[in-house]
C-alpha cells in the first residue's frame, strides 16, 4: 500500500454486515483502515466490528461517545475488548467524562476526541448558545481533551493548520468532511479535497459517500489515490 493510502480511512456508511464486508473485500488491496459509525453499528452491533477485524483490516469505531462519565467509561472498556485500533468520544462532555474515558481505554488504542462536527456552522453554534466561532470552539475543546489525556482530535480539515500551530505533533489529527474534487459536498459545510487535507498536515482522512455511494468503489479509491499522487 502507498503512504497516501495508509492515511485514508473508508467509512462503512452502509446498513448491513453483508454490504460492509463486500466493501472491505473490494478495497482491501488498497485500503487497510475502515470506519464503523452509528448507522452500521446500530444495525449490526459488535459482531460487525469482529467481522471486519477478522479480515485483517483495522477499525476506527466512531461512536462519538457522550454521556455521564461512568457510562462512557464502561462503553470505552467494552470497545477496548473488541480490539479496535481507534475510538471516538465527544469532547463537549467535559473534562470529568474525558478523564474517565481515557482511564478506561486499552493502552494500544488511539483515542480521539470529536471537537465540532463538520456539518456545523457558526449559525449552528449560536443555536446552542455558543457565541465563539467554529475555530475557537475547536481549539477550546481540543485543549480540554489534550489536558485530559486524549491522543488526538477529530475536526474538519479547515482547522488542521490551527491545531498544528497549537499542538504540533503531540496529537494525531483525523479529519472528516473530505470530498474529492469530483464529488458532491452533500451535507458537509467545512470540507476539503483529500490532497488539500494531507498538505495541511492531517494524519488521517475519513472518506465515506464518495467511495461507498459510488457504483464502483474500487475505481473511486483509485481516482482519489491518483489525485494524491501529483
CA dihedral 201→205→209→215, nearest 10 degrees, is 100
Please give the biggest Cα pair distance in the chain.
48
b/e code 53-76 from CB counts within 10 Å (16+ = b): beeebbbbbbbbbbeebeebbebb
The rounded distance, in Å, linking the Cα atoms of 186 and 219 is 20
The rounded distance, in Å, linking the Cα atoms of 187 and 137 is 20
* Residue 36: other Cβ atoms inside 10 A: 24
Q: Which of 17, 19, 35, 64 is catalytic?
A: 64
64 is catalytic: yes
Dig out the grid coordinates for 69 from the structure.
462519565
The rounded distance, in Å, linking the Cα atoms of 143 and 159 is 13
For the annotated catalytic residues, the residue numbers are 64
Amino acid at each position: 500500500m502507498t503512504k497516501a493510502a495508509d492515511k485514508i480511512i473508508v467509512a462503512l456508511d452502509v446498513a448491513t454486515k453483508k454490504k460492509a464486508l463486500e466493501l472491505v473485500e473490494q478495497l482491501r488491496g488498497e485500503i487497510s483502515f475502515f470506519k464503523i459509525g452509528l448507522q452500521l453499528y446500530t444495525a449490526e452491533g459488535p459482531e460487525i466490528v469482529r467481522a471486519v477485524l477478522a479480515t485483517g483490516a483495522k477499525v476506527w469505531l466512531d461512536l462519538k461517545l457522550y454521556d455521564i462519565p461512568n457510562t462512557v467509561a464502561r462503553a470505552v472498556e467494552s470497545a477496548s475488548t473488541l480490539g479496535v485500533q481507534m475510538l471516538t468520544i465527544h469532547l463537549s462532555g467535559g473534562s470529568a467524562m474525558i478523564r474517565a474515558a481515557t482511564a478506561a481505554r486499552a493502552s494500544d488504542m488511539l483515542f480521539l476526541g470529536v471537537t465540532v462536527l463538520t456539518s456545523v456552522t457558526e449559525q449552528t453554534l449560536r443555536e446552542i448558545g455558543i457565541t465563539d466561532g467554529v475555530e475557537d470552539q475547536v481549539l477550546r475543546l481540543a485543549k480540554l481533551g489534550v489536558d485530559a489525556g486524549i491522543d488526538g482530535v477529530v475536526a474538519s480539515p479547515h482547522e488542521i493548520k490551527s491545531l498544528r500551530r497549537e499542538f504540533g505533533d503531540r496529537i494525531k489529527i483525523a479529519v472528516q468532511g473530505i470530498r474529492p474534487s469530483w464529488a458532491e459536498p452533500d451535507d458537509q459545510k467545512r470540507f476539503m479535497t483529500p490532497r488539500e487535507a494531507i498538505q495541511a498536515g492531517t494524519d488521517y482522512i475519513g472518506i465515506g459517500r464518495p467511495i461507498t455511494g459510488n457504483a464502483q468503489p474500487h475505481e473511486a479509491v483509485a481516482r482519489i489515490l491518483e489525485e494524491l499522487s501529483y
